[in-house]
Amino acid sequence: SIEQITVRTILDSRGNATVEADIYTACGFGRAAAPSGASTGTYEAKVRPARDAVENAQEHLIPSLIGEDTRDQITFDALLRELDGTADFSSIGANVAVALSLACAKAAASSLDLELFRYLGGAFAGRTPLPLGNVIGGGAHATDATEIQEFLVVPTGAADAQEAVFANAAVHRTVKDLLKKRGKGCGKGDEGAWAPRIADAEAFEIITEAVGTVSDDMNVEINMGIDVAASELFDGEQYRYRDGAKSPEEQVAYMADLVDRYDLVYVEDPLAEEDFDGFADLTDMVGDRCLICGDDLFVTNVDRIMRGLEKHAANCVLIKPNQIGTLSDTFEAIHLAQSNGMETVMSHRSGETTDNTIAHLATAFECIFLKTGAVGGERISKLNELIRIEELI
Ligand code: PGA
Ligand code: ZN
């Protein structure tokens, strides 16, 4: 049972304060930190400013958690919800909730001398997810760069996690060379993707070339995907692009065209977070050859995933534990999606720490992809952990 809990504020990758929690039991220790988003969905659980959240937790929350059994995750998470008393963790803060919830699982795993992926996934957890990494990006993650938030690659033909991780990094590096050659050298966005001042069409062109080069060099099949984060482009009526606006119907057609033109295997948030019907139209058109994934649409929330299932809105759910606040809720979301034939993708946030928990969650819960960038310390902490996990399987 829990003997001691420490919560503190630490730095995240944007230089902002975030929450980290340590949980000690007689024979276990768990530590986890909360990430944070920039293009957050309206229906996500609510964070409290980190310092204020930590103070509040120390005073009002932690005393009630001492003595709890870390191996009873469901009860621990239910207690967090009860102590919070709101539907969206706006009282204690979803940042405090997710850090404590994940630290609880890690303390339990440690007390049993098990790796987290083994504790949560059991004896049959046997496959690491493929890494899905962004190599060019803009939107809310960089100023004056691409309009589509993330241009992603996934090495679908990779033999193992190591080859997969290195393939994505090689594409990232090759994209830099190609940008330089075109006189479009640039810095990086929040997630480590290149943030050039180019049109989306040129980004597709450059990545297509980079993927071709790396595929040949490494002899591995690599595919492209995108995260449009379309809620950020939507003004309530239309999708605003630099060279004009698109109606929701035109946006669906544009997305379907991109899928076919660039053989996209993954499209996240192609439409705004309220548009279940637009999602359904697109899924109907291209869902047989492409994953249509809801991030802001579903916010890792079973009620919204249920609505998506009824409307056949998507065939994939993005999973971000901090969108919903606890590991139990995260598991419920994954379970609901997978038992209804949808794929799941475990994801980082644009504001991250070196915490590598999501590599374990993605493996334990059999997510098809782990979406966590391609380079950068807070991204490679997850990617390198994936390589280590695969060694243990
Ligand atoms: P966020 O963006 O972490 O800034 O919300 C990531 C995403 O949209 O997937
Ligand atoms: Zn997204």
Report which bound ligand comes closest to the CA of 268.
Answer: 2
* pLDDT in the model for residue 268: 98
Q: Which residues of the chain have pLDDT under 70?
A: none
ipTM: 0.98
Q: Using alpha carbons, select from 114, 24, 20 the residue that is nearest to residue 70.
A: 24
Nearest CA to ligand 1 atom 1: 37
Tokens 């966005």 locate to 189
Q: Is 352 a catalytic residue?
A: no
Is ligand 1 within 6 A of the CB of residue 37?
A: yes
* pLDDT in the model for residue 39: 85
| Alpha-carbon dihedral sign for residues 159, 161, 166, 172 | positive
For residue 5, the SS3 value is strand
In angstroms, rounded to a whole number, what is the distance separating the alpha carbons of residues 246 and 162? 41
The annotation places the binding site at 141, 149-150, 227, 268, 295, 320, 347-350, 371
> How close is the Cα of 126 to the center of ligand 1, in Å?
28
71, 28 contact by CB (below 8 A): no
Pick the atom of ligand 1 nearest to 269's CA.
8
Residue among 349, 353, 369, 372 to mutate when testing ligand 1 (max atoms within 8 A of CB): 349
For residue 260, the SS3 value is helix
What six digits make up the tokens of 319? 């999973």
The annotation places the binding site for (2R)-2-phosphoglycerate at 149, 320, 349-350, 371
> How close is the Cα of 59 to the center of ligand 1, in Å?
31
What six digits make up the tokens of 247? 């109606």
At 152-174, the pLDDT tens digits run: 999 999 999 999 999 999 999 99
Is ligand 1 within 6 A of the CB of residue 295?
A: yes
Partners of 153 in beta bridges: 133, 224
Distance separating the N- and C-terminal Cα atoms of the chain: 29
Is ligand 1 within 6 A of the CB of residue 40?
A: yes
> How close is the Cα of 77 to the center of ligand 2, in Å?
25
Q: Using alpha carbons, select from 43, 33, 97 the residue that is nearest to residue 294.
A: 43
* pLDDT in the model for residue 105: 98
> How close is the Cα of 250 to the center of ligand 2, in Å?
21
In angstroms, rounded to a whole number, what is the distance separating the alpha carbons of residues 219 and 240? 39
8, 54 contact by CB (below 8 A): yes
Q: Is 310 a catalytic residue?
A: no
Is ligand 1 within 6 A of the CB of residue 297?
A: no
Q: Where are the beta strands (DSSP E) in 207-296?
A: 223-227, 239-241, 244-246, 266-268, 291-294
Residues 6+ apart with CB under 8 A from 42: 231, 273, 296
Q: Using alpha carbons, select from 135, 87, 118 the residue that is nearest to residue 379.
A: 135
In angstroms, rounded to a whole number, what is the distance separating the alpha carbons of residues 21 and 19? 7
